[in-house]
Amino acid sequence: MTLRLTAALAASIVLSACGQNGSEPATSSETAASDAEQVTLASVSEENLRARIATLASDEFEGRAPATPGGAKTREWLINEMKAIGLEPGNGDSYEQPVPLVELTVQPDASSLAINGDVLELGPETVYWTKRVEEDVAFADSDLVFVGYGVVAPEYGWNDYEGVDVTGKTVVILVNDPGYATQDPDLFNGRSMTYYGRWTYKYEEAARQGAAAALIIHQTAPAAYGWGVVEGSWSGPQLDLERPDGGAGRVALEGWVQEPVARDLFAQAGLDFDAVTASAHEAGFKAIPMDGLKASGSLKNTIRRSNSANVVGILPGTEHPDEYVLYMGHWDHLGVGPADENGDTISNGAVDNATGTAAILSIAEAFANSTPKPKRSIMVVAVTAEESGLLGSAYLGEAPIVPFAQIVGGINIDGVLPLPPAKDIIVVGYGASELEDLLKVAADTRGVYLRPDAEPEKGYFYRSDHISLAKKGVPMLYADAGLDLIDGGEEAGRALAEDYTANRYHKPADNYSPDWDLTGMTQSMNTLMEVGAAMAYSDDWPNWYEGNEFRALRDEQRAAAK
């Protein structure tokens, strides 16, 4: 069965779902466009999708951890699949973009963070690390300054660093952003987190401001996770990119402190915690020195270097080969670890993310079998080290294979649950870009509705690989399988999703089963293929919606490219 797509030469792409006999209903745009060009899209094959998931999730690849024999075997398999599909090397004459990695481990017994000489207990009171690739990192007698949310956002008229010089100082920062704190729909993005609410941004901005250290105050609701997640995620070995400056441009110490610790520090500085943090919710907030408090830190690191790679293939466009539609998914998972209750030591990552990796390959295969082939190039990137902090995509963002201005738009596919067909498709970060308009057209043809993610305040849009390119200006879409199942509705869909999260997510139990129902996943992947087709067979350049934090960057980017 094929999918049919009609592209009016001077209008937007119109997509329509095929019937069982291969025919499709005419649309108003189709009948109006006398100069329409007929395109036959090959469909994503459920059989091929299933076979690729089963292979990637097999014990043969030992959980696909970067810089392991299983990881190397995964990359080799991906390259062979891309060759078989007919994709050309995406990085010059190579299918790989090498990604150098460095692992830093803070030695707890030889490291400390102290305020006025009082050492904070690593684990129960604070968690800290450094991005500087040095065995010994230290700073002393650094004045503490409360900088609110630590945000510089011109499009929102917001600058928490205005009028204050924090060079060499330790900045203390609230998590999330003012919109969440106030629930004001007109402040930032209201309840929905923006990029400025992410802890990653806050450390980066502190470094740009010249701070010596940056401490985020942990509060469970705005962080969207408890202290146990902080302690578990940022203790022990921390993998990062091997950067040209060795991380010298980052602050010496990045960390979190528990809210009770922060309250005590504010009290020591003669500040009312609740009143001062509430003042940070208002426009015009001015940073507040925490008088009398000085921080000193000493970190002893062990360093281990390794290498991995992103795997990149391209289906060249027939008319505009230097314009690219991007499909992205991470190939890595957790590898081999402690045995579970069944004695299984391999975390195979069948859902996370054998599904997404298989999907981007299967979508590329469908494009390769379509008639005619796309006008613009299809770029497929299987990125590494997502589980270690989006490192493969971050490297792609810092060392782009093609200029960002030449990427029309991108779709990230990560952790698709094998659910039966649904009446909805979930848009993570709903309201971000015009790619959602294209998704709606493709979904409408199937009678599927778009559903915003239920917890936008948790910032899931900023926690997967697409953000590495989004923050460089490239419009990106992150959509997931729907939960409102045709058979059983939301109750059935949520029960299946919650079962996966509780019993298999990031565990050896995340295994492939031949009993999986892939009809819903296949439907979703065909929908996402049609979104890419709406760009690949068009001359249009979708953008971020007005007001989005990445819109100005994209406008500047595209203006410079013309």
> Which H/E stretch holds residue 410?
strand 407-412
Assess whether 205 and 123 both reside in one domain.
yes
Measured distance CA(509)–CA(496) in Å, rounded: 15
152 and 33 assigned to the same domain: no
- Asked if 64 and 74 count as a contact pair (C-beta separation under 8 A), the reply is yes
Q: What is the pTM of this model?
A: 0.85
Strands of 444-512 (E only): list them.
449-452, 476-481
**Does residue 406 share a domain with residue 266?**
no
- Which CATH number characterizes residue 487's domain? 3.40.630.10
Are residues 265 and 331 located together in one domain of the fold?
Answer: no
Co-location of 366 and 384 in the same domain:
yes
Distance CA 80, CA 88 (A): 11
Give the chain's domain count.
2
**Are the C-beta atoms of residues 527 and 18 closer than 8 Å to each other?**
no
Same domain, 280 and 161: yes
Question: Final residue of a domain: which of 303, 336, 369?
Answer: 303
Query: Same domain for 392 and 273?
Result: no
Both tokens of residue 270?
């003669």
Query: Does 473 lie in the same domain as 391?
Result: yes
Query: Does residue 494 share a domain with residue 378?
Result: yes
222 & 271 share domain: yes
Amino acid of residue 43: S
Identify the DSSP state of 312: E
Which DSSP state fits 412?
Answer: E
One pLDDT digit (tens) per residue for the chain, 562 residues: 344 444 333 233 433 333 322 333 333 233 233 345 689 999 999 999 999 999 999 999 999 999 899 999 999 999 999 999 999 999 999 999 999 999 999 999 999 999 999 999 999 999 999 999 999 999 999 999 999 999 999 989 999 999 999 999 999 999 999 999 999 988 998 888 889 999 999 999 999 999 999 999 999 999 988 998 888 888 888 889 998 899 999 999 999 999 999 999 999 999 999 999 999 999 899 999 999 999 999 999 999 999 999 999 999 999 999 999 999 999 999 899 888 889 999 999 999 999 999 999 999 999 999 999 999 999 999 999 999 889 999 999 999 999 999 999 999 999 999 999 999 999 999 999 999 999 999 999 999 999 998 888 888 898 899 999 999 999 999 998 899 999 999 999 999 998 998 898 888 999 999 999 999 999 999 999 999 999 999 999 999 999 899 999 999 999 999 8
Helix H or strand E segment including 7: strand 2-7
Q: Is the peptide bond between 342 and the residue preceding it cis, with omega within 30 degrees of 0? A: no
| Secondary structure element (H or E) that encloses residue 551, with its range | helix 551-561
Question: What CATH number should be reported for the domain holding residue 135?
Answer: 3.50.30.30
Residue 128 sits in which domain range?
103-303
Last residue of a domain, one of 247, 268, 303: 303
CA triplet 362, 90, 529: central angle to 5 degrees? 30
* Residues 204 and 107 reside in one and the same domain: yes
Residues 54 and 159 in one domain: no
| Cα dihedral sign, 285-290-296-301 | negative
Residue reference for tokens 């979190």 = 256
Concatenating the DSSP letter of every residue in 112-148 gives EEEETTEEPPBTTTEEEE--S--SEEEEEEEEEEE-T
Q: What is the 3-state secondary structure (H, E, C) of 159-176?
A: ECCCCCCCCCCEEEEECC
Q: Whose CA is closest to 467, among 555, 359, 389?
A: 389
| Domain stops at, among 274, 303, 332 | 303
